[in-house]
Amino acid sequence: MNKIGFIGLGIMGKPMSKNLLKAGHKLIVYDIVPAAVEEVKKAGAEVGTSPADVASKCELIITMLPNSPQVKEVVLGKNGVVEGAKKGSLVVDMSSIAPLVAREVGAELKKKGIRMLDAPVSGGEPKAIDGTLSIMVGGDKADFDQMVPYFKCMGASYVLTGAIGAGNVTKLANQIIVAINIAAVSEAMVLATKAGVDPNLVYEAIKGGLAGSTVLNAKAPLMMDRKFNPGFRINLHIKDMGNIMETGHGVGVPLPLSAAVMEIMQALKVDGMGDCDHGAIVRFYEKLAQTEVKRQG
């Protein structure tokens, strides 16, 4: 069985790599955080000395990194993937980055005869752990078809949405809906609480109707239980919102609601909550209304 390179073992990459190992695939991994590397090594992976080293030993290289600059550095920089990868290799970047950067990296790799997919994911740490991520993919269909068996190990759905960059455009659309939905849930729960109605009963009453959503089901109970440990950090959603605004402005799409939620997140970051889950958006509304959303009785 061919070995898979996996670069980036953070909050998402670590469980994703472990799911590939559980499925019986052999991995060579790399990360700048020794503790993360050691954990995945104990799960059965080999360890590479650099992105170039990993790429030289694998025909399939997956990257899962924080943002556009890190992807460019790891793939195209000194000791990067491009320096080690053989012609015909496939690089699958599962990071959430700016679509234009995905296209730029893909074009540079193509000059060397290296194929690329951009394949960002949605679902946060819980779905990364249980292997039920939604995977949004840009690139050639033949390359997508080659990756399907590996996507199955990490995700519950995987859809080819267009050429390189389309995966990240789709992810940005996803992040707009998630951010604004969390803000709407927050606003509604704070209103219910301050108006003297148990927010849990409001949640139970509305979740089966048109207001129901995956976001409502995932975040409202955590808000009421005051659980803001990160499944997806506000700081990371701020990163995505920055890419959303840059892309929207670049193609001529005003994004007034996205801009408003971005500023809410910025206010929470200033308040020291950047590393909280994005469900902590409710705390912005709680501060304005001088109330706290929690189960009553």
Between CA 128 and CA 138 the distance in angstroms is: 20
Among candidate residues 233, 122, 107, 139, the one with its CA nearest the CA of residue 177: 122
Q: Is 171 a catalytic residue?
A: yes
Classify 64 as helix, strand or coil: coil
Strands (E), 163-226: none
Give yes or no for a contact between 2 and 59, defined as CB atoms under 8 angstroms apart. Answer: yes
Residue whose token pair is 């998630």: 178
Give yes or no for a contact between 286 and 293, defined as CB atoms under 8 angstroms apart. Answer: yes
Give yes or no for a contact between 81 and 58, defined as CB atoms under 8 angstroms apart. Answer: no
Between CA 109 and CA 215 the distance in angstroms is: 37
Between CA 16 and CA 225 the distance in angstroms is: 28
Give yes or no for a contact between 209 and 174, defined as CB atoms under 8 angstroms apart. Answer: no
Classify 241 as helix, strand or coil: helix
Compute CA distances 263 → 30, 123, 184, 270, whole Å.
35, 23, 15, 10
Give yes or no for a contact between 128 and 121, defined as CB atoms under 8 angstroms apart. Answer: yes
Give yes or no for a contact between 46 and 26, defined as CB atoms under 8 angstroms apart. Answer: yes
Give yes or no for a contact between 15 and 129, defined as CB atoms under 8 angstroms apart. Answer: yes
| Residue of 14, 171, 219, 239 marked active site | 171
User: Which amino acids are annotated catalytic?
Assistant: 171
